[in-house]
Amino acid sequence: MKRCFFLIAISVFACISSCKKTNESFDIQNMENKVIVLGHGGSGDLNFYPINTYESLLNCINSGADGSEWDIQMTKDSVLVAYHDETLETQTTGKGRIIDYTWSELQEFKYNPAPYVRYDIVSVDSLFAHVSNLKSLTFSFDNKLYFEPSSYPAFISAVIKVLEKYGMEQNVFIESHSAGFLIQFKQLKDYKFFLNPDNFDDGLKIIDSMNIYGIIMDVANISAAQIQEAHSHGKYVQVWGTSGSGDNTDAVKMNPDAIQTDDIASLVNLLK
Amino acid sequence: MLFVCLLTNVAFAQQDAKATFKNNVFLELLGNGGYASFNYERIIFSHKKITIFPSIGISTFKTKDFTGTVNPDVIIPLGLRMYYGSRHMFVFGLGQTISSTVYLNPEDFEAKRSYKLSANVMLGYRINFKRINLQLAYTPIFENYNHYINWLGFSVGYKF
């Protein structure tokens, strides 16, 4: 009886192994006929490391991604940091908004995703200063404007300063939900701006009229036909919200120009 | 030191002959090990409805660091637990958790280890079947003796 179970187990294992999906080949048809693989906040929500930490971002880069999306905010003394939420208490040992602290004060707070571990809040400058192959990477700054519009000029100035310091102007996408913010930014620099609109049709009209580089949307809210339409207007398309091999496969088939994923390994594996 | 004494049964000479299974291995979700831990405990004292177990566990959050190198986090919860009851038991435990976790040092961007000693407490309920036991407990952690974390643990054990 035991031998019978053993043989069945071996057979099932062999079947699963032989049935394992092999890499698909995709006929990528987008603006540059390639898909840029970006992590979501580094290694994504499904990874142990909290998104936007040094560990998450470096783990993403070391996993073979082309780069990563980050959530960018600004401190009281105009230092750009990566942090997703509006307030610190939701993810760290701190309280309040990023904009209410100086960089020096902010370094006291740590991410605490589980007992026994603590991770630092990231400054854009320090990460750029330490990544050896920086110029070969692509980043997408999701600008979290959790402060008054009167602070937009200081924020824009901080972004320009850090991108110019590291020569990363062409390697960083600038995302925002706010068309007003992008217009204000575009008056100073013509970077690769991406609007994150509520719906595709309105978004396409805005980026057409503003001569914006592209559009970024949740993959669940955009179709392959709409991506093709954006491409026919000469616009780049980023999608986000993929969290598994199936999601990534479906997203690649839609021919976006970049995918921000929570499952980097599967997307890298699909496209290599 | 106290632990060594307990483990070697020096402190307690009186044993209850009715204790059939002296050892218990259990898998604990959350609990003193963080997210999940594999633990071993052994009866060192049993009298009437009171049983005392020292326990030791092992746990990790991840086995590779952010560079992709095998460099696991290691968490070792140690505890001394007192149970009251027979089939239905109340548990109270105290212990220490030794942790060695990997993080990025922002000074040089190298992987470094953080070593911490944290206190753990256990207050809960266990039900015993013939060889299997289930336990639900409040397992707060006083991390590094400066940060209190409310935590729960659920475990499934096997006696032998």
Q: Is residue A10 part of a domain?
A: no
Distance of CA A9 to the CA centre of its chain: 41
Closest CA to A240 of A52, A84, A38: A38
Percent of chain B whose pLDDT exceeds 70: 88
- The stretch B110-124 carries a mean pLDDT of 96
Number of other CB atoms surrounding residue B3 within 10 Å: 14
Query: In this predicted complex, what is the ipTM?
Result: 0.81
Cβ–Cβ of A63/B68 closer than 8 Å? yes
Under a CB-based contact definition with an 8 Å cutoff, are residues A240 and A218 in contact? yes
Whether residue B125 lies inside any domain: the answer is yes
pLDDT band of residue B63 (cuts 50, 70, 90) is very high
CB A115: neighbour CB atoms within 10 A? 28
Across the interface, whether the CB atoms of B116 and A55 are under 8 A apart is answered no
Residue B96 domain-assigned (yes or no): yes
Subunit contact B149:A126, Cβ cutoff 8 A: no
What pLDDT is recorded for position B106? Answer: 87
Contact across the interface for B66 and A54, Cβ inside 8 Å: yes
**A204 contact partners, CB below 8 Å, separation of at least 6:** A215, A226, A229, A230, A233, A235
Q: What is the average pLDDT score of chain B?
A: 89
Amino acid at B74: V
Verify whether the Cβ–Cβ distance B106 to A63 is below 8 Å: no
Indicate whether A5 belongs to any domain.
no
- The whole-number pLDDT of residue B1 equals 41
pLDDT of residue A21: 47
The rounded Cα A258 to chain-centroid distance in angstroms is: 9
Nearest CB to A115; choose among B67, B114, B149: B149
pLDDT above 70 covers a percentage of chain A that reads 91
Is a pLDDT exceeding 50 seen at residue B14? no
Predicted confidence at residue A56, as pLDDT, reads 97
Q: What is the pLDDT of residue A3?
A: 52
The answer as to whether B16 is a domain residue is: no
B115 contacts chain A (CB < 8 A): no
- Per-residue burial over A141-166, b = 16 or more CB atoms within 10 Å of its CB, e = otherwise: bbbbbebeeebbeebbebbeebbeeb
* Nearest CB neighbour to A48, from listed B61, B99, B143: B61
Per residue in B44-58, pLDDT (tens digit) is 999 999 999 999 999
Range of the domain at A187: 29-85+124-271
Residue B12: band (very low, low, confident or very high) from pLDDT cuts 50, 70, 90: very low
Which CATH number fits the domain that encloses residue A222? 3.20.20.190
In whole angstroms, how far apart are CA B65 and each of A38, A49, A62, A129, A266? Answer: 20, 10, 10, 21, 19
Structural domain count, chain A: 1
Q: Is residue A18 part of a domain?
A: no
CB contact under 8 A, A54 and B75: no
DSSP three-state, residue A250: helix
Collect all residues of chain B within an 8 Å Cβ-Cβ radius of residue A115. 34, 97, 99, 118, 141, 143, 149, 151
Reduced to 3 states, what is the DSSP secondary structure of residue A105? Answer: helix
Q: What is the mean pLDDT of residues B105-130?
A: 94
What pLDDT is attached to residue A262?
A: 97
Residue B15 located in a structural domain: no
Nearest CA in chain A to B77: A116
Q: Collapse the DSSP code of B122 into the 3-class scheme (helix H, G, I; strand E, B; otherwise coil) and give the result.
A: strand
pLDDT digits (tens, 9 = 90+) for A12-55: 555 454 444 445 688 899 999 999 999 999 999 999 999 999 99
Q: Where do the H-state alpha helices sit in A107-215?
A: 124-130, 152-165, 179-186, 200-210
Has residue A99 been placed in a domain?
no
Show which of residues 74-113 on chain B sit within 8 Å of chain A, judged by CB atoms: 75, 97, 99, 101, 103-104, 106, 109
Report the CATH number at residue B100: 2.40.160.20
Q: Could you list the residue range(s) of the whole structural domain that residue B73 is in?
A: 2-8+26-159
Number of separate domains in chain B: 1
Residues (pLDDT < 70) of chain A are 1-24
**Residue B95 burial (10 A CB sphere; 0-12, 13-18, 19+):** buried
pLDDT over 50 (residue B91) = yes
In the predicted structure, residue B13 carries a pLDDT above the cut 70: no
